[in-house]
Homo-oligomer: A and B are copies of this chain.
Amino acid sequence: VIARGERWPERWCHRFKSADPCFSCASQSPEPPTSPAPSVYPRLSYSARLPFCRNSAARALLKVVDRKKSNLCLSADVTTKEQLLRLAEQAGPHICLLKTHMDILSDFDATVPAALLALSEKHDFLLFEDRKFADIGSTVAAQYSGGVYRIASWSHIVNAHAIAGPGILAGLKQPVEKQLKESNVEGSTVAPRGLLLIAEMSSSGSLATGSYTTANLLMAEADPEWVCGFICQRAISKEKGMIHMSPGVQLPTDEDAVAPAAAASSSSFPSTPARTGTDSLGQQYTSPRDLLVTHGTDIIIVGRAIIQAKDAAKECERYRKAGWEAYEESLAASDAKK
With most chain B CB atoms within 10 A of its CB, the pick from A104, A106, A161, A281 is A281
Contact of A170 (CB < 8 Å), options: B107, B146, B236, B282: B282
| Contact yes or no, B79 A214, CB < 8 A | no
List B contacts of A132 (CB < 8 A).
134-135
Q: Is B211 a contact partner of A26 (Cβ separation < 8 A)?
A: yes
CA distance A19 to B138 in the complex (A): 29
Binds B, one of A32-40, A53-61, A286-294: A32-40
Within 8 A of B (CB), among A213-272: 214-215, 218-219, 236-238
Judged by a CB distance under 8 angstroms, whether A1 is at the interface is: yes
Contact between A142 and B214 (Cβ–Cβ < 8 Å)? no
CB contacts (< 8 Å) of A203 on chain B: these are: 136-137, 164-165, 167-168
How many Å lie between the Cα of A193 and that of B148 in the bound state? 25
Residues of B within 8 A of A210 (CB): 1
A137 in contact with B283 given A21-B218, A148-B108, A165-B205 (CB within 8 Å): yes
Query: What residues of chain B lie closer than 8 Å to A183, measured between beta carbons?
Result: none
Q: Is the CB of A23 within 8 A of B165?
A: yes
Q: Which of A105, A147, A168 has the most CB of B within 10 A?
A: A147
Mask: chain A, 53-76; 1 = CB below 8 Å from B; 0 = not: 000000000000000000000000
List the number of copies, as a whole number: 2
A residues 189-210 with Cβ under 8 Å of B?
198, 201-208, 210
27 residue pairs of the A-B complex, CB under 8 angstroms, read A1-B33, A1-B34, A1-B35, A1-B214, A2-B214, A3-B36, A5-B238, A23-B218, A23-B219, A26-B215, A26-B218, A77-B138, A101-B142, A103-B149, A105-B148, A130-B135, A137-B281, A162-B207, A164-B201, A164-B203, A165-B203, A165-B282, A166-B204, A167-B281, A167-B282, A167-B283, A171-B281
Given pairs A23-B166, A24-B165, 19 additional interface contacts (CB within 8 A) = A1-B34, A5-B238, A23-B165, A26-B211, A26-B215, A26-B218, A27-B212, A28-B211, A29-B29, A105-B147, A134-B163, A137-B279, A137-B283, A141-B281, A164-B203, A164-B206, A165-B203, A167-B281, A167-B283
10 smallest beta-carbon distances between A and B, as pairs: A167-B282, A137-B281, A165-B205, A26-B215, A104-B142, A103-B147, A134-B134, A3-B36, A136-B203, A167-B281
